[in-house]
Amino acid sequence: MKALVYHGPGKRALEDKSKPIVKEPTDAVVKITRTTICGTDIHIMKGDVPTVTDSRILGHEGVGVVEEVGASVSNFRTGDKVLISCITSCGKCEYCRTGMFSRCAHGGWILGNTIDGTQAEYVRIPYADTSLYHIPDGADEEAYVLLSDILPTGFECGVLKSEIKPGDMVAIIGAGPIGLAALITAQFYSPAEIILVDTDPNRLDVAKTFGAAKVVQYNAVDEIMKLTLGKGVDVAIEAVGTPATFNICQSIVADGGHIANIGVHGKSVELHLEKLWAKSVTITTRLVDTATTPMLLKLITSGKLQPMKLISHHFVLNEIMKAYDIFGNAAKEKALKVVLTN
């Protein structure tokens, strides 16, 4: 089969690889019909995720059709259309029993990280019964592929973790797909205003269409402090993963406010406790657990959530090298989420 293979920082190739097989009775093999590229994959290509080693097939998002199941799989059968969760859950360990699936003793974020992922024609899914979801017949697959990762990530790590309340002033630093997912789902809780910060004017224009009250392109700290009359924001969501964007959050958070980190950080950040220690500020981190996926599935099925609007480019799987180039140059290419069809 064809697959996108990582060979160290800055090195990737579309290669022929062996089709995966069922190794454990809890496995399923899924034929990929749609996959996509995540900002985390770009961090991997920069060398920010050392757990990803040479020859790994990347990708942790996708929808497809079950090709084969192990003897212990009871919820799925050959021919079922499924959503692949970016988080693999055994469903039985102490972490899974508390809903902290990202810390699963036998799974967690392993697809495209410590085992081969979804940017291929086929993928092996461990613990299929608790790591796949049925897709309704006739559903738009492109809507569901965005539910593999970015929607639950923006929602859980940004919105739920920051405990946004009605009337809050919220700033989201980074208007990429994850930041926009946080923007969309933050509106469930009726904040007073949401401010989006990014250096890409195209992404800021898109943010306005998704409900951003104000956008800021330059001098983010000064502009946000002006917009909030010097108070700062109740919630600052970091959705990039760089020291500069985390520092913006530290500089704009109000007394008693909350900094929620979503971004994947490959470098250390400087924590300014000399300024924050007396401000009663909460700082949270989280890897997505996908615990909210069933709820988000219902919202997509009902039409109340339409993530397809985040898709900017379409490719076939054999064009994935080009897709990486375009996604990696998002500002120039006006790229948001790219979808690859197999």
- Smallest CA-to-CA distance from 57 within 10, 110, 120, 11 is with 120
The CATH number given to whatever domain includes residue 145 is 3.90.180.10
Domain boundary among 238, 253, 285: 285
Q: Which residue has 């964007």 as its token pair?
A: 245
Q: Give residue-wise pLDDT tens across range 227-241.
A: 999 999 999 999 999
Domain boundary among 264, 285, 306: 285
pLDDT of residue 186: 97
Mean predicted confidence (pLDDT) in 57-79: 97
Residues 110 and 41 grouped into a single domain: yes
Asked whether 130 and 28 are in contact (CB, 8 A), the reply is no
Mean predicted confidence (pLDDT) in 286-306: 92
pLDDT of residue 306: 84
Q: What is the DSSP letter of 187?
A: G
Who has greater pLDDT, 136 or 340?
340
Residues 101 and 195 grouped into a single domain: no
Residues 103 and 62 grouped into a single domain: yes
Answer yes or no: is pLDDT of 143 > 90. Answer: no
Residues 219 and 328 grouped into a single domain: no
Answer yes or no: is pLDDT of 153 > 90. Answer: yes
Answer yes or no: is pLDDT of 266 > 90. Answer: no
Pair of tokens at residue 254: 């109000």
Mean predicted confidence (pLDDT) in 87-94: 97
Residues 302 and 263 grouped into a single domain: no
Residues 139 and 171 grouped into a single domain: no
pLDDT of residue 298: 92
Q: Give residue-wise pLDDT tens across range 14-47.
A: 999 999 999 999 999 999 999 999 999 999 999 9
* Structural domain total, the chain: 2
Residues 272 and 331 grouped into a single domain: no
Residues 137 and 37 grouped into a single domain: yes
Answer yes or no: is pLDDT of 308 > 90. Answer: no
Residues 208 and 266 grouped into a single domain: yes
pLDDT of residue 139: 83
pLDDT of residue 109: 97
Ranking 22-26, 204-208, 257-261, 329-333 by mean pLDDT, the lowest is 329-333
Ranking 161-175, 190-204, 282-296, 301-315 by mean pLDDT, the lowest is 301-315
Residues 128 and 159 grouped into a single domain: no
Residues 299 and 247 grouped into a single domain: no
Q: Cα(111)–Cα(114) distance, rounded to whole angstroms?
A: 7
pLDDT of residue 59: 97
The CATH number given to whatever domain includes residue 184 is 3.40.50.720
Give the pairing type, strands 2-6 and 12-16. Answer: antiparallel
Domain boundary among 285, 301, 329: 285
Q: Containing domain of residue 97, as a range?
A: 2-149+289-341
Give the pairing type, strands 233-238 and 169-173. Answer: parallel
Task: Please list the residues that pair with 314 across neighbouring strands.
Answer: 339
Q: Give residue-wise pLDDT tens across range 123-142.
A: 999 999 999 999 988 888 88
Residues 159 and 279 grouped into a single domain: yes
